Amino acid sequence: MWDLTIITKWAESTYDAKDTRILQRRALILTMIFCALNPAELERMKSETSKFKDNFVQTQVQAKISGGETVKVIINKHPNLRFDTVAALQRWMVNTKTTFKDEYVWFDIEEGWIVNLQKIKEELVAVLRENGIPDTFTVYSIRYAVITHFARLQDADWKAIKAYARWAPGSREAQEYFSVLPVQDTKWILEVIGSPGPLAEKGDKSEKDSERKDIINEETES
């Protein structure tokens, strides 16, 4: 998809920012990257169920799965404080306690009220555009980029990747729809993402186009 260091470098460069909007954008996009959350799950985060420990933060989200099961999400501290999600969330939530005083984590800066799903998408996309990521990529491409990043690692563990992104153990969505391999000397590879059928591992057959449309519809629903 695109190199995640584009965003982590932005997070490093804005580490000392005092602007409320930047604080929220950093916390939003780092949480999405390091938890592989989707925007709907981000929207459902609550401050009252987000607990900070010494080396991690634990939160709960209503997962985007059948029945809307509430799942526990743990975010570990990163050794590089400049793009550590725990530190970014902590800074933002300290700000919200003194500014907004509500149970939810994210807020509409202009309105001073709980942010809706569309606004979360707008804030995330604003970071992509600010960093030169083409407008053909949407907010959902962040999750695709995360999975592709893990898939490119040597000896990628698909079982661990699927558990990380909260897919069922037997699911093949990660391999066939969320990763783009191989990636060689190409910064933008949307033409591969937009191919007629989903990508499959070597030796595997692609699923039917109708199944691919179901995945796309799931990822783009509000």
Q: How confident is the model at residue 46 (pLDDT cuts 50, 70, 90)?
A: confident
- Cα–Cα distance for residue pair 146/141, rounded to 1 Å: 9
Residue 70 lies in a domain: yes
Residue 107 lies in a domain: yes
Q: What is the pLDDT of residue 15?
A: 94
- If asked whether residues 94 and 185 sit together in one domain, one would say no
Last residue in a domain, options 97, 130, 163: 130
- If asked whether residues 118 and 160 sit together in one domain, one would say no
Phi, psi of 120 (to 5 degrees): -60, -45
Last residue in a domain, options 130, 161, 187: 130
- If asked whether residues 104 and 188 sit together in one domain, one would say no
User: In total, how many domains does the chain have?
Assistant: 2
Phi, psi of 152 (to 5 degrees): -80, -15
Last residue in a domain, options 130, 151, 172: 130
Q: What is the pLDDT of residue 180?
A: 67
* Residue range 112-168, pLDDT digits in tens: 888 899 999 999 999 999 998 888 888 988 888 888 888 877 677 888 888 888 888
Residue 161 lies in a domain: yes
Residue 135 lies in a domain: no
Return the HEC string of 195-211: CCCCCCCCCCCCCCHHH
- If asked whether residues 148 and 41 sit together in one domain, one would say no
Q: What is the pLDDT of residue 111?
A: 84
- If asked whether residues 126 and 146 sit together in one domain, one would say no
* Mean pLDDT calculated for residue range 11-19: 94
Q: What is the pLDDT of residue 173?
A: 83
Q: Quick check: 47 pLDDT over 70?
A: yes
The model carries a pTM of: 0.76
- If asked whether residues 112 and 151 sit together in one domain, one would say no
Residue 36 lies in a domain: yes
Provide the residue range defining the domain that includes 188: 141-220
Q: What is the pLDDT of residue 138?
A: 87
* Residue range 163-206, pLDDT digits in tens: 888 888 788 888 887 776 554 544 544 443 333 333 334 333 33
Q: How confident is the model at residue 20 (pLDDT cuts 50, 70, 90)?
A: very high
- If asked whether residues 172 and 196 sit together in one domain, one would say yes
- If asked whether residues 120 and 18 sit together in one domain, one would say yes
Instruction: Assign residue 16 the CATH number of its domain.
Output: 1.10.443.10
* Residue range 51-92, pLDDT digits in tens: 888 888 888 877 665 456 787 888 889 999 998 999 999 999
